[in-house]
Amino acid sequence: MSRFDKVIDRKQTDSVKWDYTKKIFGVEDVLPMWVADMDFSVPDEVIEVLHTRADHGIFGYTMPGTKMEKAVQSWVKKRHNWEINPKNITYTPGIVTAISLAIHAFTAGDDKIVVQPPVYYPFFEIAQKHEREVLYNNLILNEDFRYEIDFADLENKLSDDKTKLFILCNPHNPGGRVWSREELTKLGDLCVKHNVIIISDDIHSDLLLFGSRYTPIASIREDIAKQTITCIAPSKTFNLAGLQASMVLIPNDSLRRKYHNVQQIFGLLSINTLGADAMEAAYSYGEKWLDELLPYLEENVVIIENYLKEHLPDIKVMRPEATYLVWLDARSLKKTDRELQDLLLKKGKLALHVGSKFGENGEGFLRMNIACPKETLMTGLERLVTALKA
């Protein structure tokens, strides 16, 4: 039996996923498989480190030091063959926070920001909150049912004099694409050509499935790195999202100074003590745990593919190359997202993200979180069939 087969009751822990379905969806008795955190306990070493810190009993001001830098450097080098300079590391409570700070630092009132829907919705929601114009470079579904980049449309939008930022999602959420080195090089070349800063959200980069290879866009060439702000974190990898500990890597000294200035404006200069300890422990001791997790997630993907092929063949499964999120194509059912949501919640007692949340071209899709024990996964699949089978 795998450690990941253990079903852990998360109710009454103020879990957004498990305790707030009434507030978010208007119903209580549903199985939540929507928000992107895992129903797995973190590595034992992380728990031990947190216990040690708690037993110490003093929680004064702290700052991540050289041990943290070495842990991060070693992890990124070993997992992704990427050498990073510790001076480029800036700590932040979360990647959504990091993107918001970057928008504030590198754009002005009438500047434009390019995103690639369907994509993680805070990208465009945060830009809109800053009252920036968002340009949508819609991803294209090819004949192999994989997303591709529309480079002609992308260059058109990047060439606008008002375009200052491009937000990349690598690996892609919700589609699970791991963009190839060739695609990223082409993308980086365009941003260099048109002097557009890249914010690359690489939070899912450790969750590589089925032999996929991840390339950090900042690792390709120095000129691309100088225009790239890379966001990474242990939060998705090791299920630490609630501890709010992330990093921003900024090789360009000028951009880093501007970013630090905005951090000072908002008083967001570091991360909390327990988050820092958990991050360092995860990167130092969590590799064995992760190497057990990834095959478990692959098994869950295959279970979904086989189950829906047998019981709900009208739903197409986009196999993720990374992440623990599965993008389901329900367009053949010819229902609106509102209708799909009603069926899921009322008939199936299941809470998923509907695709239009990620952009207009996500309409008719569903995002399902499969980072859960197989017992929970099977219950979710049974409820999905109950909801959507004619």
Cα dihedral 74, 77, 82, 83 sign: positive
Three-class secondary structure assignment of 50-69: HHHHHHHCCCCCCCCCHHHH
Is residue 249 classed as helix, strand or coil in its secondary structure? strand
Confidence of residue 1 (pLDDT cuts 50, 70, 90): confident
Query: Contact 147/175 with Cβ under 8 angstroms?
Result: yes
Q: Which domains does the chain have, with CATH numbers?
A: 3-43+288-388 (3.90.1150.10), 60-284 (3.40.640.10)
**Summary mean pLDDT of the chain:** 97
pTM of this prediction?
0.96
What band does 390 get if pLDDT is binned at 50, 70 and 90? confident
SS3 133: strand
Torsion sign across C-alpha atoms 110, 111, 117, 123 = negative
Q: Which residue has the tokens 């990834």?
A: 294
In this structure, the dihedral spanned by the alpha carbons of residues 193, 182, 251 and 103, taken in order and rounded to 10 degrees, is 60
User: ∠74-75-76 over CA atoms, to 5°?
Assistant: 95
- Distance between CA atoms of 196 and 193, rounded to whole angstroms? 8
Interhelix angle 95-106/122-129, rounded to 10 degrees, is: 40
- What's the confidence (pLDDT) of residue 326? 98
Side chain identity, residue 166: F
Q: What pLDDT is attached to residue 187? A: 98
Measured between its terminal Cα atoms, the distance across the chain in Å is 36
In angstroms, the CA 246 to CA 268 distance is 12
Residue owning tokens 């019981």: 311
The per-residue pLDDT for range 279-335, each reduced to its tens digit, is 999 999 999 999 999 999 999 999 999 999 999 999 999 999 999 999 999 999 999
The tokens of 17 are what? Answer: 């996923």
pLDDT the model gives residue 146: 97
Which of 332, 373, 390, 367 lies closest to 119, judged by CA?
367
Q: For 21-42, what is each residue's pLDDT tens digit?
A: 999 999 989 999 999 999 999 9
User: Beta strand pairing status for 228-232 and 246-249?
Assistant: antiparallel
Q: For residue 356, what pLDDT is reported?
A: 98
Each residue's pLDDT tens digit, 242-285: 999 999 999 999 999 999 999 999 999 889 999 999 999 999 99
Of the chain, the percentage scoring pLDDT greater than 70 comes to: 100
Look up tokens 């000129």; give the residue: 223
Residue 210 in tokens: 């089925």
Residue 127 CA neighbour count, 13 Å, CB half: 23
Q: Are 139 and 148 in contact (CB under 8 A)?
A: yes
Q: For residues 241 and 145, what is the distance between their CA atoms, to the nearest angstrom?
A: 30
Question: Residue range 89-109: average pLDDT?
Answer: 97
In whole angstroms, give the CA distance from residue 147 to residue 166: 18
Q: Rounded to an integer, what distance in angstroms lies between the CA atom of residue 66 and that of residue 297?
A: 33
Closest CA to 203 of 161, 160, 238, 251: 238
Query: How far, CA to CA in Å, does 52 sit from each of 55, 63, 76, 239, 283?
Result: 5, 17, 26, 19, 17
Q: What are phi and psi of 9, to 5 degrees?
A: -75, 115
- State how far the Cα of 265 lies from the Cα of 101, in Å rounded to an integer: 10
Residue 57's contacts (CB-CB under 8 Å, 6 or more residues apart) are none
